[in-house]
């Protein structure tokens, strides 16, 4: 079974690439983030023609998440139970479902903007709510994983130059502690350590030729419980999909399971 997560940075802008990637990779379940479209604009029919059904949580602004599956979608939960609001709104940043033999969450963690910003406080509160929301699934016997754009680099080796990020979001002790707390629910990072590939970043800013220079960050993560991680046979970043005209600024992270 092949599962992936991908911040597509607008599903409408990326649709031709998305459809081609699904066809070429044979992915069974894809967790999407930053769909940037309202639910009524979501290309459900184009995906259905490829054999995929979708569960969507989107409002058309700068976030939005989805689960795309060709192995079923059951027990869908839209939103983050107990999650905080930002400026009076619970943003569409989480969706979960059972896809065949596995239970999955697609999450788009708030960016945080700046350490002194209200959005950073919101980010930490959101991660705390996520930990509480996934605890029961993580402790169960069913293979379970939380996948998505976490907007946190777990360690210094996950950014191209740690010195340049001092005092900025994505690398602060509080954000990394929140990830560590999430892992305490019995979840593990499925990307192998030591890393199988040299500097397997998942995000490269469009500016300053960051991708050709490999000045990136690893912020798109897959955290699985013990039954999930025991089934992992391979995990990798599909850097090829970050290349060329019209690419997202994120690359897909792919996990192959033997279930």
Catalytic residue list: 108, 149, 250
Nearest-CA neighbor of 97 among 3, 237, 198?
A: 3
Q: 249 labelled as ligand-binding?
A: yes
Burial of 11 (0-12, 13-18, 19+ CB in 10 A): buried
What's the rounded Cα separation, in Å, for the pair 5 and 203? 12
Q: 250 labelled as ligand-binding?
A: yes
**Measured distance between the N- and C-terminal CA atoms of the chain, rounded to whole angstroms:** 7
Quote the crossing angle between the two packed helices 118-139 and 173-183, to the nearest 10°.
10
Cβ atoms < 10 Å from Cβ of 48: 11
Q: 149 labelled as ligand-binding?
A: yes
Confirm if 51 and 167 have CB atoms less than 8 A apart: no
What's the rounded Cα separation, in Å, for the pair 104 and 75? 11
What's the rounded Cα separation, in Å, for the pair 57 and 119? 20
Q: 7 labelled as ligand-binding?
A: yes
Burial of 8 (0-12, 13-18, 19+ CB in 10 A): buried
Q: Supply 43's token pair.
A: 């290309």
Q: Enumerate the known binding-site residues.
A: 7, 34, 149, 151, 249-250
Q: Enumerate the known binding-site residues for Mg(2+).
A: 7, 34, 149, 151, 249-250
């Amino acid at each position: 079974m092949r599962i992936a997560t991908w911040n597509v940075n607008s599903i409408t802008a990326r649709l031709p690439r998305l459809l081609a990637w699904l066809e070429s990779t044979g992915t069974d379940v894809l967790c999407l983030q930053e769909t940037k479209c309202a639910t009524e604009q979501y290309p459900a029919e184009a995906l259905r023609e490829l054999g995929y059904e979708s569960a969507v949580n989107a409002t058309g602004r700068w976030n939005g998440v989805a689960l795309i599956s060709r192995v079923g979608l059951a027990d869908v939960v839209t939103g983050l139970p107990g999650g905080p609001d930002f400026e009076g709104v619970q943003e569409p940043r989480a969706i979960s479902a059972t896809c065949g033999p596995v239970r999955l969450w697609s999450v788009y963690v708030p960016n945080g903007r700046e350490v002194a910003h209200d959005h950073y406080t919101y980010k930490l509160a959101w991660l705390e709510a996520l930990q509480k929301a996934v605890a029961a699934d993580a402790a169960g016997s069913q293979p379970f994983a939380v996948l998505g754009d976490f907007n946190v680099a777990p360690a210094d080796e996950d950014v191209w130059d740690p010195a340049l990020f001092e005092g900025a979001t994505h690398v602060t002790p509080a954000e990394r502690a929140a990830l560590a707390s999430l892992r305490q629910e019995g979840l593990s990072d499925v990307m192998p350590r030591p890393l199988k590939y040299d500097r397997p970043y998942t995000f490269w800013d469009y500016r300053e030729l960051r991708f050709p220079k490999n000045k990136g960050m690893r912020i798109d993560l897959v955290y699985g419980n013990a039954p999930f991680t025991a089934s992992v046979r391979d995990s990798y970043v599909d850097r090829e999909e970050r290349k060329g005209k019209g690419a997202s600024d994120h690359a897909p992270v792919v996990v192959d399971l033997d279930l």
